[in-house]
């Protein structure tokens, strides 16, 4: 059958990049704080990147060693520690110890199945989210992302290298915008804003696939398979699962429950909240659209079935009686007076034509044809 080229979202492999199917599960009832990396290893390299800045200075460092120098307190500006690779449990535990982070928090960092959430602790704020990054091959790589905001430092944890913070790094390096003048809470906002902004890319992608599907349904329903509709709906549900916890995270950030979230940054977190609501509402609209498409497909299919049935009924209703009449005059009775009339055969054709014509007229009146 003729199929137009479909977006990757409707292909067999789907939108989401799949990793190995079997994800390590923690043994139930291990003591709390037992540090095990849950999830698959998405990168081989463990790396730790430090960017410390204030309005005038900028210090960069790439290292694999955790030591106290990472904790050197600054008067101004902020320090950003970005950790890539969660399989090096010992190093992450060391880093957590350095910043006096609770073992349960460390456990959540290492657990890539942990759902997105926010925790306001006395000395730090802990945020778990998921980073969705659109890759060149048309798939979306989703990874676990954690962020710890302390008074002067922001520590972020990723499972694999990601490019979504590159524009932010460049902005810090070039001193554009106000980022160099503001502290660690502004940096937190900038990081989360980058995460939320990338959700829009995924939403647009799914939305485009649904529009394409809609258009296809309108033009030629046979080009669409039920599996496409099912796949698109599954993607929307996956997306909804991803963005739903954003509302809760942003609400807590907006309320400024921690002294680490300064008055000055409230305006920015309100903006973030706004974007999150937009992301969530867009996802819900996509869900509605996907349901609508499925309903339309079912209606259209039942319509086509109806048409097929009508054709069948018309054909049977015309030809079964005609065949019967023909069958009657094919009988071999010795005494069938009609058979010998000269005009019988032409007259019978008249009967055939008028029966068929009458039927057709009836069907047209009933709008079956």
Query: Per CB under 8 A, which of residues 199..258 are in contact with a copy of itself?
Result: 200-201, 204, 218, 222, 226-227, 229-230, 233-234, 237, 241
Q: Which residues of 237-266 are buried (b: 16+ CB within 10 A; e: fewer)?
A: ebbeebbbbbeebbebbbebebebbeeebb
**Calpha distance 310→59 (Å, rounded):** 78
Q: Which of 5, 18, 20, 29 binds a copy of itself (CB under 8 A)?
A: 29
Q: Which residues contact 92 (CB under 8 A, 6 or more apart)?
A: 35, 83, 86, 106, 109, 110, 157
**Please, which of residues 297-356 interact with a copy of itself by CB under 8 A?**
297-306, 308-313, 315-317, 319-324, 326-336, 338-342, 344-345, 348, 352
Q: How many distinct helices (H) and strands (E) make up the chain?
A: 8, 7
CB 201 within 8 A of CB 134: yes
CB closer to a copy of itself out of 13 and 63: 13
| Least Å from the CB of residue 183 to a copy of itself | 15
CB closer to a copy of itself out of 31 and 259: 31
**Calpha distance 369→365 (Å, rounded):** 9
**Calpha distance 78→72 (Å, rounded):** 11
**Please, which of residues 140-199 interact with a copy of itself by CB under 8 A?**
164-168, 171, 176-179, 190, 193-194, 197-198
Q: Which of 281, 353, 357, 361 binds a copy of itself (CB under 8 A)?
A: 281
Q: What are the C-alpha distances in Å from 72 to residues 47, 61, 164? A: 19, 13, 27
Q: What are phi and psi of 129, to 5 degrees?
A: -145, -175
Q: CB under 8 A: which stretch of 36-44, 67-75, 142-150, 268-276 binds a copy of itself?
A: 268-276
Q: Find, among 164, 153, 152, the residue nearest to 197 by Cα.
A: 164
CB closer to a copy of itself out of 107 and 152: 107
CB atoms within 10 A of CB 187: 25
| 65 near a copy of itself, rule: CB under 8 A | no
Binding mask 82-101 for a copy of itself (x = CB under 8 A): --------------------
Q: How many residues bind a copy of itself (CB under 8 A)?
A: 107
| Least Å from the CB of residue 226 to a copy of itself | 4
| Least Å from the CB of residue 156 to a copy of itself | 14
Maximum separation of any 2 CA atoms in the chain, in Å? 121
| Least Å from the CB of residue 246 to a copy of itself | 14
Q: CB under 8 A: which stretch of 28-36, 49-57, 63-71, 140-148 binds a copy of itself?
A: 28-36
| Least Å from the CB of residue 256 to a copy of itself | 16
CB closer to a copy of itself out of 136 and 320: 320
Q: Find, among 157, 146, 145, 152, the residue nearest to 186 by Cα.
A: 152
CB closer to a copy of itself out of 74 and 171: 171
CB closer to a copy of itself out of 148 and 289: 289
Q: What are phi and psi of 158, to 5 degrees?
A: -125, 155
Q: Which of 18, 28, 44, 56 binds a copy of itself (CB under 8 A)?
A: 28
**Calpha distance 119→316 (Å, rounded):** 72
């Amino acid at each position: 059958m003729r199929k137009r080229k479909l977006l990757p979202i409707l292909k067999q492999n789907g939108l989401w990049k799949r990793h190995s199917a079997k994800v390590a599960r923690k043994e139930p009832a291990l003591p709390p704080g037992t540090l095990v990396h849950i999830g698959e290893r998405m990168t081989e390299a463990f790396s730790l990147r430090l960017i410390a800045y204030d309005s005038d200075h900028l210090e960069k460092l790439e290292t694999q060693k955790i030591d106290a120098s990472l904790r050197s307190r600054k008067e101004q500006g902020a320090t950003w520690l970005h950790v890539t690779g969660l399989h090096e449990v010992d190093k992450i535990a060391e880093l957590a110890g350095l910043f006096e982070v609770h073992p349960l928090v460390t456990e959540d960092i290492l657990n890539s199945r942990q759902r997105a959430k926010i925790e306001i602790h006395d000395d730090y704020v802990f945020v778990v989210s998921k980073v969705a990054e659109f890759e060149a091959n048309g798939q979306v790589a989703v990874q676990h992302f954690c962020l710890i905001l302390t008074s002067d430092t922001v520590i972020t944890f990723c499972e694999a290298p990601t490019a979504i913070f590159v524009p932010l790094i460049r902005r810090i390096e070039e001193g554009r915008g106000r980022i160099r003048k503001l502290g660690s809470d502004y940096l937190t906002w900038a990081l989360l804003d980058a995460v939320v902004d990338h959700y829009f890319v995924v939403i647009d992608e799914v939305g485009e696939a649904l529009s394409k599907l809609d258009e296809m349904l309108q033009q030629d329903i046979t080009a669409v398979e039920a599996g496409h509709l099912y796949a698109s709906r599954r993607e929307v549900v996956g997306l909804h699962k991803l963005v739903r916890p954003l509302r809760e995270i942003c609400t807590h950030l907006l309320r400024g429950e921690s002294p680490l979230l300064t008055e000055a940054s409230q305006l920015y977190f309100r903006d973030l909240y706004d974007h999150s609501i937009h992301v969530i509402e867009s996802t819900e609209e996509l869900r509605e659209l996907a349901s609508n498409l499925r309903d339309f497909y079912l209606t259209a299919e039942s319509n086509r079935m109806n048409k097929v049935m009508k054709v069948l009924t018309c054909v049977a209703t015309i030809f079964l009686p005609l065949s019967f009449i023909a069958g009657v005059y094919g009988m071999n009775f010795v005494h069938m007076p009609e058979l010998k009339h000269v005009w019988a055969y032409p007259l019978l054709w008249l009967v055939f034509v008028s029966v068929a014509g009458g039927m057709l007229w009836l069907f047209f009146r009933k709008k079956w044809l």
